[in-house]
Amino acid sequence: MTTVVGFPRIGEQRELKFVTEKYFKGELDQDELARTGKELRQRDWGYLQKAGIDEIPSNDFSYYDQVLDAAFLFDLVPAAVKALPLSALDKYFALARGYQGEYGNVLAWPMKKWFNTNYHYIVPQLGKDSHFKLTGGKIFQEFAEGKQQGILTRPVLVGPFTLLKLSELHDADLCCLAKEAAKAYSEVIARLAQAGAEWLQLDEPFLVKDLDEDDKKLFQELYQPLLEAKEQAGLKILLQSYFGDVRDIYDDLVALPFDGIGLDFVEGKQTLDLVKGGFPDDKVLYAGVVNGKNVWRNNYEKTIAILKQLPVKHLVISTSCSLLHVPITVASEDFAPEVKEHFAFAKEKLAELHDLAAIFRAAAGSQAVLAKNQALFAKKRVEEDQALHEKIKHLTKEDFNRKPARSERETLQKAEFNLPLLPTTTIGSFPQTKEVRQKRRQLRKGELTASQYDDFVKGKIAEWLKWQEEAGFDVLVHGEFERNDMVEYFGQHLSGYLFSKNAWVQSYGTRCVKPPIIWGDIKRKEAITVAWSAYAQSQTKKLVKGMLTGPVTMLNWSFPREDISTEESTLQLALAIQEEVLDLEKHGIKIIQIDEAALREKLPLRKSDWYSDYLDWAIPAFRLVHSKVKPQTQIHTHMCYSEFTDIIPAIDAMDADVISFEASRSKLEILDALKAQHFETEVGPGVYDIHSPRVPSVSEIEATIKKILTKIPAQKDWINPDCGLKTRGVPETKASLTNLVAAARAVRAELAEKGEGEN
């Protein structure tokens, strides 16, 4: 038997995205949106059916997000949203995106990364007035829709434990909420049973995190009543986990009367051992053996070897997690056949499940399928760069250690640059206006020659350098007009990268990303940013900061290889970027920023794995990039978030000279932690939020700077916005930055008056 945990819902041509965005703009009506939604569901079910998948999920479709869907199903919607005189769907979008219109102003619920993926879910905010009440209908409608189509689907719903653990509680009583949740979920069970459903899948990915006794108790409190309800209703429950193993609660899970348990054999390091330790005969094991996150073909021989070790009576072969995290099909890509055959996106993974089931039960003809797959894996896929592998093998401690120590460098750099106290700078990009994007498009279509395009970019650089000088910035940037994206642009200048045409993956709501694929060994093919940075520096006497993407971010925002370790790929990237750093230095760039916007992204879900599985190689990879620069060359890094309170020593160990990060929205809490832990790196906590078009006033920024100065000595403090400005408009950017410089100058003057801030 076969199934999937879930299927991508955005559509092969991102139909749902385009239709929904048109709907937001008022260009089409709700009926049309609903029609597209229905068509997509039918089409996706059709794919699963055609591929011979035995059990087909429903309600894995969503107009925005599955957690927000659950909040609406259970009426956890804030009163302000409920009060809006809008249709149910518009209220839903109001909570997802915020509402500002004739009926008032409602803030969106915040968004967070869904476990260790690049998908973002909406974080429910539960308060005193939040009560679980079954009022929504989407899950029932979609089940009925499947039935009409002749498919008895298995509805999917975020489980109560994960829903509560992911929600933010503001004055809400967890105990009451848990009781209500158990009751409301029980009602869902009863209604689905009545409607003729056989199974309900409850997704509980939170079970793969470190769980304490309170968590386990909460789980029991939620599930005991719910499991009683399912016995009465006669519905079967599949408890589905993913993104790791459930070691902390496995014994409880197998002891409870679940009918099926879904486990992840790809990311779950202990899953196989747990199951080998015993799995009850009366339950179905949903074995997640086909990787729901990567794009490579499954190695059938290895997978079958795992399946053969499972001491279980009832087995369903499944994906490790929802296929939401992979693109839909490789069929539409232009890769050469000998490249294409190595990939399996969502649709191809369906065929893999079918193959695996056939091989596992030794069906007629399956031997040939296995042999073909074995031949694929036996093939030499890429020419290994032996010299590079050797180089990595022989890296020594010195290669990861910049000299002299940071405190000494700090003195040297202060003398060299002679910057004022509280130096002002920006994070790198300036607005990517329509014009900028249009020129890039024209270059791609051949409507502009390379030299015409270069002249355009140079013009932009010169224009913005002049503006920064006039505005009074201390450290300037060239503005990143040449790049579309911080990973793709670099990948295009490296060997070993592959770019797809249509391999989109949902990031949040209607937003999708197209991660490039690391296909082979990585090397710098040519200089990447040197010409732009050198040109910029030649146009001004002020310092221009070079701007690069760091190795960990390059890796985390790409689909990684599976034939060599992630660590090794990252070191390859680090060596390539190291070349670029040294090249920039050679061309007179004295300050180089290496962005690690995605460093935190792949932090393991279990704290105990943070260092051993990740930071122990990710941080050295960053150090490798800048270990060989001169003491006077200043290395900056940037992170788009400030949630690193718990890994402050690791961030300091990156050994950058300066780090800028988001701080305005997180109310500067991070600064206390930095102070307490004697953070050594100079810091630029963002002084205003660039994610909003609002222009902050001088006095507002001044107040923020002063707050920062109560925690960070002025000698260590930089003044900059939160993040890059590429998504902003020109007028608001200029207005905000002008205020930023004015605020920095005002504070500087005050400090000088008090005689503070001088060494």
Residues that bind Zn ion (CB under 5 A): 640, 723
Question: In this complex, which beta carbon is closest to Zn ion, that of residue 37 or of residue 428?
Answer: 428
Task: Select the span of 85-93, 214-222, 397-405, 722-730 touching ligand GLN (CB under 6 A).
Answer: 722-730
Residue 296 token pair = 């490579």
Pick one of Zn ion, ligand GLN, none as the site partner of residue 486 (Cβ within 5 to 8 A by kind). ligand GLN
* Shortest separation between residue 638's beta carbon and Zn ion, angstroms: 6
Question: In this complex, which beta carbon is closest to Zn ion, that of residue 197 or of residue 640?
Answer: 640
Backbone dihedral angles phi then psi of residue 568, each to the nearest 5 degrees: -65, -45
Question: In this complex, which beta carbon is closest to ligand GLN, that of residue 486 or of residue 581?
Answer: 486
Instruction: Please say whether the beta carbons of 52 and 354 come within 8 A.
Output: yes
Burial class (CB in 10 A: 0-12, 13-18, 19+), 286: buried
User: Can you say whether the dihedral through the CA atoms of 577, 513, 503, 153 is positive or negative?
Assistant: positive
- SS3 state of residue 475: strand
* Shortest separation between residue 24's beta carbon and ligand GLN, angstroms: 24
Among 122, 547, 591, 712, binds ligand GLN (CB under 6 A): 547
* Shortest separation between residue 553's beta carbon and ligand GLN, angstroms: 8
Among 2, 271, 318, 429, binds ligand GLN (CB under 6 A): 429
Q: Does 475 bind ligand GLN (CB under 6 A)?
A: no
* Shortest separation between residue 524's beta carbon and Zn ion, angstroms: 24
Residue for token pair 């011979």: 52
Pick one of ligand GLN, Zn ion, none as the site partner of residue 349 (Cβ within 5 to 8 A by kind). none
Among 166, 284, 359, 640, binds ligand GLN (CB under 6 A): 640
Question: In this complex, which beta carbon is closest to ligand GLN, that of residue 71 or of residue 723?
Answer: 723
- SS3 state of residue 5: coil
Helices 450-471 and 434-445: crossing angle, nearest 10°? 160
Burial class (CB in 10 A: 0-12, 13-18, 19+), 85: exposed
DSSP characters over 410-443: HHHHHHHH-PPSS-B---SB----HHHHHHHHHH
Active site residue 691: yes
Pick one of Zn ion, ligand GLN, none as the site partner of residue 353 (Cβ within 5 to 8 A by kind). none
Among 156, 287, 486, 705, binds ligand GLN (CB under 6 A): 486
Question: In this complex, which beta carbon is closest to Zn ion, that of residue 322 or of residue 529?
Answer: 529
* Shortest separation between residue 423's beta carbon and Zn ion, angstroms: 19
Instruction: Please say whether the beta carbons of 695 and 672 come within 8 A.
Output: no
Ranked by CB distance to ligand GLN, the top (closest) residue is: 724
Instruction: Please say whether the beta carbons of 142 and 41 come within 8 A.
Output: yes
Give the integer Cα–Cα distance in Å for 318 and 423: 55
Amino acid at 557: W
H/E stretch holding 125: strand 125-126
Q: 314, 493, 587, 691: which is the annotated catalytic residue?
A: 691
DSSP secondary-structure letter at 2?
B
Pick one of Zn ion, ligand GLN, none as the site partner of residue 476 (Cβ within 5 to 8 A by kind). none
Q: Does 595 bind ligand GLN (CB under 6 A)?
A: yes
Q: Kindly report the length of the chain.
A: 759
Question: Which has the closest alpha carbon to 62: 141, 164, 148, 126?
Answer: 141
Among 70, 552, 597, 701, binds ligand GLN (CB under 6 A): 597
Question: In this complex, which beta carbon is closest to Zn ion, that of residue 211 or of residue 597?
Answer: 597
Among 724, 737, 747, 757, binds ligand GLN (CB under 6 A): 724
Pick one of Zn ion, ligand GLN, none as the site partner of residue 726 (Cβ within 5 to 8 A by kind). ligand GLN
* Shortest separation between residue 602's beta carbon and Zn ion, angstroms: 17
Instruction: Please say whether the beta carbons of 666 and 642 come within 8 A.
Output: yes
Task: Select the span of 146-154, 604-612, 625-633, 720-728 touching ligand GLN (CB under 6 A).
Answer: 720-728
Q: How far is CA 334 from the centre of its chain?
A: 26
Size of the site for ligand GLN (CB under 6 A): 13
* Shortest separation between residue 464's beta carbon and ligand GLN, angstroms: 13
Which is it for strands 517-524 and 236-240: parallel, antiparallel or unpaired?
A: unpaired
* Shortest separation between residue 505's beta carbon and ligand GLN, angstroms: 17
Among 155, 428, 431, 516, binds ligand GLN (CB under 6 A): 428
Question: In this complex, which beta carbon is closest to ligand GLN, that of residue 47 or of residue 508?
Answer: 508
What's the 3-state SS for 641-698?
CCCCHHHHHHHHCCCCCEEEECCCCCCCHHHHHHHHCCCCCEEEECCCCCCCCCCCCH
H/E stretch holding 315: strand 314-319
Pick one of Zn ion, ligand GLN, none as the site partner of residue 247 (Cβ within 5 to 8 A by kind). none
Give the integer Cα–Cα distance in Å for 726 and 648: 28
Residue for token pair 């006497």: 541
Beta strands in 453-539 (DSSP E): 475-477, 494-498, 505-508, 511-513, 517-524
Pick one of ligand GLN, Zn ion, none as the site partner of residue 429 (Cβ within 5 to 8 A by kind). ligand GLN
Task: Select the span of 84-92, 178-186, 495-503, 721-729 touching ligand GLN (CB under 6 A).
Answer: 721-729
Residues 152 to 171 in contact with ligand GLN, rule: CB under 6 A: none
* Shortest separation between residue 700's beta carbon and ligand GLN, angstroms: 22
Q: Does 409 bind ligand GLN (CB under 6 A)?
A: no
Pick one of Zn ion, ligand GLN, none as the site partner of residue 547 (Cβ within 5 to 8 A by kind). ligand GLN
Q: Does 658 bind ligand GLN (CB under 6 A)?
A: no
* Shortest separation between residue 436's beta carbon and ligand GLN, angstroms: 13
Question: Which has the closest alpha carbon to 216: 245, 183, 249, 244?
Answer: 249
For the beta sheet containing 260-264, the strands, ordered from the edge strand earlier in sequence to the opposite edge, are 57-58, 154-158, 199-203, 236-240, 260-264, 284-290, 314-319
Quick count: other Cβ atoms within 10 Å of Cβ 301? Answer: 14
Q: Does 599 bind ligand GLN (CB under 6 A)?
A: no
Question: In this complex, which beta carbon is closest to ligand GLN, that of residue 165 or of residue 726?
Answer: 726
* Shortest separation between residue 689's beta carbon and Zn ion, angstroms: 12
Q: Does 638 bind ligand GLN (CB under 6 A)?
A: yes
Question: Which has the closest alpha carbon to 190: 139, 240, 152, 145?
Answer: 139
Task: Select the span of 76-84, 402-410, 422-430, 703-711 touching ligand GLN (CB under 6 A).
Answer: 422-430
Burial class (CB in 10 A: 0-12, 13-18, 19+), 470: exposed
264 beta partners:
288
* Shortest separation between residue 662's beta carbon and ligand GLN, angstroms: 9
Quick count: other Cβ atoms within 10 Å of Cβ 400? Answer: 18
Q: Does 723 bind ligand GLN (CB under 6 A)?
A: yes
Among 478, 636, 726, 734, binds ligand GLN (CB under 6 A): 726
Which is it for strands 494-498 and 517-524: parallel, antiparallel or unpaired?
A: antiparallel
Residues near ligand GLN (CB under 6 A) are 427-429, 480, 486, 547, 595, 597, 638, 640, 723-724, 726
Active site residues: 691
